[in-house]
Structure 1
């Protein structure tokens, strides 16, 4: 997909890899009061609109924003394929970003219908049955694939540290990675938000036309239910988490035929789904 050039900003800058962390000075709170400096992760507000209608404002790490918009649209069931996204125009103003997305007529009609349904709720805006349906959506189960061999996971933590370029300098960043069937890390996306990192990876994989059933995706963050839902919607075969999953996460992974593996620090990989 090509991103139209907005005359008010430099698209190459705001859609490229994230900028290097900015360095800030500090003084230690002890008797010495020594001064130092530290690189800190960047974040910005990104507003997303579809066909001129505002949809969401997210705090994200700048960079790979087109990947994020694509992945966000796919993993939130706004579109079913990138063919339904006709254009993305990225712009910048006063330090914040805006993504103006043009959807196909079918996708936009479905989105407007969903928004009208939510508009009928009371009080908080989204509550009761509507909130339950949004938090626990009905998803199409996957076609099972074999989990990766244990040898593919050897030294995975070390490989992840090597490719997490931003986190090496500042910390405070989650990562989502795609590892191909040969065990090679093909894509890595980092963000202050764990959902954002996975959305960026989903968008990058879709743009590269990678078959999500092959290889596996690894995440450095806690594996919550919403990340499994994104994985199922993206049609992943296997999701690997460096942090332990919750009970509901395992239940949903098993129900939807997603391979779910936890990679502890000093223990062998644990295959939670499919059930042993």
Structure 2
């Protein structure tokens, strides 16, 4: 029987509507999950720790390492302090295909951590983000609402994410779009670097997982506001890095999950 891991966590964000109040909310759990085949780590993904053996077998099939579940001789799920390993064993013939395929595999674009090959790397320490930036709650709500009109590609496709840099005194400075939420943020960080634009408030049209917090911390964003709910790991990472994390950001309000002191007027 597969080991059961928690998939939900109860947190108490500060909900800002007409007035601010603490309330209860369940947020999804994510864990670094290493997919290991015949002792070789193929990928480390941030994933919901449920149906893990299915996840591992599905990954082997979708990456053309095996043809069916019958090619997997044995599986086990092993919990570590840093995360979870899904271990599979396949035949020597399939292992040869795996090694050939591994040389051609591109980095995952959905929930993967490209280039990461260990659980320790996935949960790396983050530099502290220090900033005196403060924003008014009403201005932040308006910034989120105004972002929709700036999503040119999404207006045509309704299928891409946006990452935007906003400043309370300068407005929306930069907006970048991509089908991948990680890619959109990477594009924004690259644009900031090439134009010499300092960080401000990061606006995201996607959910927030720990890998986005890691990227934002390295780019020194003091405030993140996203339209969706963050994961539990994202909240922990933001708290540790000193980042103000705002989620469920809509026209009528938002919820603050870490370091609320940077949000005034709530």
**Does residue 243 of the first structure (1) align with residue 219 of the second (2)?**
no
Tell me if structure 1 keeps the 8 A contact 2:162–2:204. yes
Q: By percentage of residues, which structure has more strand?
A: 2
CA distance in 1: counterparts of 2:127 and 2:163, whole angstroms: 23
Local SS of the residue matching 2:246 = strand
CA distance in 2: counterparts of 1:173 and 1:197, whole angstroms: 9
RMSD (Å) for aligned C-alpha atoms: 2.7
Tell me if structure 2 keeps the 8 A contact 1:144–1:257. no
**Does residue 201 of the first structure (1) align with residue 188 of the second (2)?**
yes
**Does residue 224 of the first structure (1) align with residue 204 of the second (2)?**
no
**Uncovered stretches (5+) of structure 1, i.e. residues with no partner:** 1-53, 61-74, 77-114, 119-125
Q: Give the TM-score normalised by structure 1.
A: 0.51
CA distance in 2: counterparts of 1:245 and 1:259, whole angstroms: 12
Q: Aligned pairs, how many?
A: 156
Local SS of the residue matching 1:154 = helix
Over 3 Å off, 4+ runs: 54-60, 144-147, 263-267
Tell me the alpha carbon deviations over residues 204-260 of structure 1, each in whole angstroms, 9 at most, x when there is no partner.
011111111xx3110100101100000001111111111111122111101110111
What's the counterpart of residue 134 of structure 1? Answer: 121
- Please show how residues 38-187 of structure 1 align to structure 2 within 5 Å: 57=106, 126=117, 131-182=118-169, 184-187=171-174
Q: Give the TM-score normalised by structure 2.
A: 0.53
Q: Give the CA deviation at 1:266.
A: 5.7
CA distance in 2: counterparts of 1:196 and 1:143, whole angstroms: 25
Query: Which range moves more in the overlay, 177-186 or 188-197?
Result: 177-186
Q: Give the CA deviation at 1:144.
A: 4.2
CA distance in 2: counterparts of 1:157 and 1:275, whole angstroms: 17
